[in-house]
């Protein structure tokens, strides 16, 4: 296999390092790193060994075909403005690596799901984000009312949900389909409150179903999709006639969505006035509920990635073998995927 300068740059960026910082850490000139990355210079074996150690990858990770980059265009469109160049590059590079890991581990195993979630472009005549959300509920055979166990439903359609550790504060989740279209990946910041986690994966599901191109409206559309998926207008209407704090706490328990999301939903469905909604937000702030809401909800835990690892282990591989297969050092693999590794490996 050939040394691939693009892969070298990818792993440096995933580490959040500038060329200058990498040069310093590796004890070479910045010019040398620059030449290595634009293909003008074949790096020495020692440089590759040192760089692999520094970037937390196997030396082999610098060899082979290009890693599919990007797409997070869809989910990144807005965030780029607040994240800055270095952080954006780092997040994009790390997501590319996560995606490659998932694809590599899923390859060769039996099909993950019998059927994939439908693709319905938001531009389809007669459809809206809400009507598409209803179609997806039908696809999941969801009963009317609260949508419980969304994680399990998405996983049943072959959507692999993995953690995205150490991401930017502004960043909750990102998603994409694999290049061959065979599987979908959603990466979510670990430790989100369960209601926020559920809304985030519902939002990403909206992108997967409705969007292939970035535009000014996709974020709003994904939010409308998530709102209807989790709180169908027809089913929730009768619950949202009052938005007092005790009632919102009760509804949060029932619908497993944030109290702030319930207020927003009541307002956008025209069930309460703008003024009432604003008052509810103010009351929430007074109690400190805008920062941290009351009512602990049960946490939905993704399992599909764990299952993939377990299948590889059952096939006779060790954790080190698995890390080697995906090009990461075992320590890197353990850090990146800790929340979804089988119990004995965390």
Q: Which of 83, 188, 205, 222 binds Zn ion (CB under 5 A)?
A: 222
Rg for the chain, CA atoms, rounded: 22
Looking at 27-35, 221-229, 247-255, 288-296, which segment touches Zn ion (CB under 5 A)?
Answer: 221-229
Span near Zn ion by CB under 5 A; candidates 95-103, 158-166, 222-230, 249-257: 222-230
Is 175 a binding residue for Zn ion by CB under 5 A? The answer is no
Task: Compare residues 10 and 222 and give the one whose CB is closer to Zn ion.
Answer: 222
| 3-state SS, residue 29 | coil
Per DSSP, 57 falls in state: B
| Residue 13: both structure tokens together | 């960026």
Taking CB under 5 A as the binding criterion, the range among 74-82, 269-277, 316-324, 326-334 that sits at the site for Zn ion is: 74-82
Under the binding rule (CB under 5 A), the answer on residue 58 touching Zn ion is no
Complex with Zn ion: residue 51 or 83, whichever CB lies closer: 83
| The two three-digit tokens of residue 207, written as one number | 């992108």
Q: Which stretch binds Zn ion (CB under 5 A): 13-21, 146-154, 214-222, 292-300?
A: 214-222
Across the chain, how many H-helices and E-strands are there? 18, 3
Instruction: Give min distance, CB of 33 to Zn ion, in A.
Output: 34
Residue 164 and residue 131: Cα distance in Å, rounded? 30
253's CB contacts (< 8 A; 6+ apart) are 295, 297
One of 7, 12, 36, 75 touching Zn ion (CB under 5 A): 75
Q: Is 208 in the site for Zn ion (CB under 5 A)?
A: no
Of 117, 147, 138, 135, the C-alpha closest to 209 is 117
Interface with Zn ion, residue 306, by CB under 5 A: no
Enter the tokens of residue 112.
């993950």
From its phi and psi, is residue 327 left (phi > 0), alpha (psi between -120 and 50) or beta?
Answer: left
CB 323 to Zn ion: min, Å: 31
- Chain positions contacting Zn ion, by CB under 5 A: 75, 219, 222
């Amino acid at each position: 296999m050939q040394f691939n300068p693009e892969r070298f740059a990818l792993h440096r960026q995933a580490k959040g390092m500038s060329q200058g910082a990498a040069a310093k850490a590796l004890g070479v000139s910045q010019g040398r790193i620059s030449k290595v990355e634009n293909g003008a210079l074949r790096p020495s074996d020692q440089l590759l060994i040192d760089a692999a150690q520094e970037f937390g990858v196997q030396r082999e990770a610098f060899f082979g075909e290009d890693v599919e980059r990007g797409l997070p265009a869809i989910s990144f469109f807005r965030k780029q403005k607040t994240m800055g160049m270095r952080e954006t590059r780092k997040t994009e590079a790390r997501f590319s690596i996560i995606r490659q890991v998932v694809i590599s581990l899923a390859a060769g195993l039996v099909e993950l799901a019998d059927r994939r979630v439908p693709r319905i472009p938001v531009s389809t005549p007669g459809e809206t984000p809400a009507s598409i959300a209803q179609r997806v509920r039908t696809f999941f055979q969801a009963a009317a009312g609260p949508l419980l166990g969304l994680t399990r439903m998405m996983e049943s359609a072959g959507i692999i949900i993995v953690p995205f550790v150490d991401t930017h504060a502004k960043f909750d989740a990102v998603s994409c389909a694999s290049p061959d279209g065979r599987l979908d990946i959603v990466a979510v910041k670990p430790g989100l409150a369960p209601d926020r986690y559920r809304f985030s994966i519902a939002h990403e599901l909206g992108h997967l179903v409705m969007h292939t191109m970035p535009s000014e409206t996709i974020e709003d559309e994904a939010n409308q999709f998530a709102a209807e998926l989790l709180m169908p207008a027809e089913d929730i209407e009768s619950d949202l006639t009052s938005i007092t704090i005790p009632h919102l706490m009760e509804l949060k328990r029932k619908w497993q969505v944030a109290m702030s999301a319930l207020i927003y939903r009541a307002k956008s469905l025209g069930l309460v006035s703008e003024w009432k909604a604003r008052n509810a937000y103010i009351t929430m702030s007074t109690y400190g509920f805008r920062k941290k809401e009351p009512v602990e909800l049960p946490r939905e835990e993704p399992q599909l990635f764990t299952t993939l690892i377990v299948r590889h282990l059952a096939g006779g591989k060790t954790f080190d073998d698995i890390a080697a297969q995906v090009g990461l050092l075992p320590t890197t693999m353990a850090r990146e995927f800790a929340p979804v590794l089988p119990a004995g490996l965390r």
